[in-house]
Amino acid sequence: MAYEVTLIPGDGIGPEITDAACRVIDATGVEIDWRRAEAGEAVMAHYGTPLPDNVLESIRGTRIALKGPITTPVGSGFRSVNVALRKTLDLYVNLRPAISIPGVKSRYEDIDLVVVRENTEDLYAGVEHMVGDDAAESIKIITRKASERVTRFAFEYARREGRKKVTAVHKANILKYSDGLFLEAAGDVAKKYTDIEFEDRIVDNMCMQLVQKPELYDVLVLPNLYGDIVSDLCAGLVGGLGMAPGANIGDEMAVFEPVHGSAPKYAGKNKANPTATILSAVLMLGHLGEAEAAARVFEAVRAVIGEGRQVTYDLGGDAGTSDMAAAIIEKLA
Ligand code: NAD
């Protein structure tokens, strides 16, 4: 029986890279009934919202979605669809593996890190207001429940994937209440996983260490804002945003999407690297229990990038998005 998956093409380069990913997944033989649902700039005028109810209903029905990036205007305009989606569907984990692929130009060749970012609270809750005309206040919300469940996910993931260490990242030396609570909750959860090492790092030191000695780290668990920033740093370690997949996971549903944004300057130009979206779809296949198909796609991506011929501009080639997808599909045959 075919899996039903909601497909949200998104804005900018989204339609091209999600199309590439769907073609690759379809070529594995895993049957997917893609339920297309439009969100973002394109539907704003029609529905008066970038996240119409029918998109949420579709995800609630299929429980799985593959999503392209969606543009969020800076400062004014609508609030982030991505943040709304994660909060509304309680997708409390943002999973972002950063794994080196041979052939990608980067400062390291052997990065193997997994960022587990809390996805529902912190400054990202967007609770902020002006105080008079010349000051603004944003409220950082950290709860024990959210901190515990994201840390539990990090440890369960580490155990399932045979990983050895979880590092909690925080700024509890300064933010003694909010980050202090996150660290305390993480430490409490860690006590139940004696088979996996636990340590903590202050976020600024963590950034320096990741640049200097990334091999010391394995699974990182972070509150939302630090997770957002540190995961882009990790993407940089493996060759940039075009290479970084992601998954938003809750107890009931999961939405898979690349870490990068809608890169409007490349929209419609068949230039964007589809790898991050294809690797997000690999995470999706794993989530569906299709481990063999997931491994085949990953190997096909590695082979195409390793050969370096049919790759996009950011990987040193001149292939288009669709050419790179076709080359990956050829390797699957
Ligand atoms: P971006 O990720 O779109 O682009 C940053 C840089 O990376 C650009 O130079 C771009 O050309 C390059 N890049 C990104 N993806 C690429 C790919 N697949 N292949 C090749 N090059 C790629 O970040 P931005 O410019 O800060 O954001 C653009 C829009 O995307 C904003 O509106 C932002 O809010 C939104 N955004 C959405 C998501 C999401 O939907 N999850 C995530 C991040 C940003």
The confidence score (pLDDT) of residue 83 equals: 85
220-239 burial, b at 16+ Cβ within 10 Å, e below that, comes to: bbbbbbbbbebbbbbbbbbb
70 lines ligand 1 (CB under 6 A): yes
Residue 278 is predicted with a pLDDT of 98
Backbone dihedral angles phi then psi of residue 38, each to the nearest 5 degrees: -95, 130
Predicted pLDDT at 78:
64
Q: Is the CB of 16 under 6 A from ligand 1?
A: no
Average pLDDT estimate for 29-57: 93
* 112-118/93-99 β-pairing: antiparallel
pLDDT of 147 above 70: yes
Ligand 1 atom closest to Cα of residue 81 = 40
pLDDT of residue 42: 81
Is the distance from the beta carbon of residue 242 to the nearest atom of ligand 1 less than 6 Å?
yes
Least Cα distance to 225 among 256, 182, 176 occurs for: 182
CB atoms under 10 Å from CB of 77, counted, come to: 11
Average pLDDT on 117-144 reads 96
In percent, how much of the chain has pLDDT > 90?
A: 89
pLDDT at 333 > cutoff 90: no
- Model pLDDT, residue 69: 96
Question: For a pocket test of ligand 1, which of 79, 260, 269, 271 has the largest count of ligand atoms closer than 8 A to its C-beta?
Answer: 260
| Residue 165 CA, ligand 1 centroid: distance in Å | 31
| 237 CA to centre of own chain | 15
Average pLDDT over residues 21-26: 98
Residue 6's SS3 state is strand
Lowest-confidence pick of 42-56, 88-102, 146-160: 42-56
Q: Is 69 in the pocket of ligand 1 (CB under 6 A)?
A: yes
pLDDT digits (tens, 9 = 90+) for 101-127: 999 999 999 999 999 999 999 999 889
Mean pLDDT check: name the lowest of 67-76, 115-124, 283-292, 310-319: 67-76
**Is the model's pLDDT at 254 over the cut of 80?**
yes
- Is 74's pLDDT higher than 70? no
The CA distance from 205 to 316, in Å, is: 32
Domains, in order of start, for the chain = 1-91+244-333 (3.40.718.10), 112-237 (3.40.718.10)
Residue 18 — very low, low, confident or very high, per pLDDT cuts 50/70/90?
A: very high
Reply yes or no on whether the pLDDT at 79 is more than 80. Answer: no
Instruction: Using pLDDT thresholds of 50, 70 and 90, give the confidence band for residue 240.
Output: confident
Spacing, Cα 263 to ligand 1 middle (Å): 4
CA-240 nearest atom, ligand 1: 7
Determine the pLDDT at residue 76: 59
CA–centroid distance for 163 within its chain: 19
Residues noted as catalytic: 124, 171, 204, 228
Cα 312 to Cα 72, 240, 266, 279, distances in angstroms: 25, 13, 12, 15
Ligand 1 pocket, 227 CB below 6 A? no
Which one has a higher pLDDT value, 50 or 207? 207
CB 67 near ligand 1, within 6 Å: no
Q: Cα(140) to centroid of ligand 1, in Å?
A: 25
Pocket of ligand 1 contains residue 263 by CB under 6 Å: yes
How confident is the model at residue 126, as a pLDDT?
86
pLDDT higher at 79 or 268: 268
pLDDT at residue 129 tops 90: yes
pLDDT of residue 75: 61
Q: Which atom of ligand 1 is nearest to the CA of 80?
A: 34
- The whole-chain average pLDDT of the chain stands at 95
Q: In sequence order, what E strands does the chain have?
A: 3-8, 32-36, 64-67, 93-99, 112-118, 128-130, 136-138, 165-170, 197-202, 219-222, 245-249, 254-258
The residue whose C-alpha atom lies closest to atom 23 belonging to ligand 1 is 261
Q: What is the mean pLDDT of residues 89-98?
A: 97
- CA 266–ligand 1 middle distance (angstroms): 10
Residue 148 has φ and ψ, to the nearest 5°, of: -70, -45
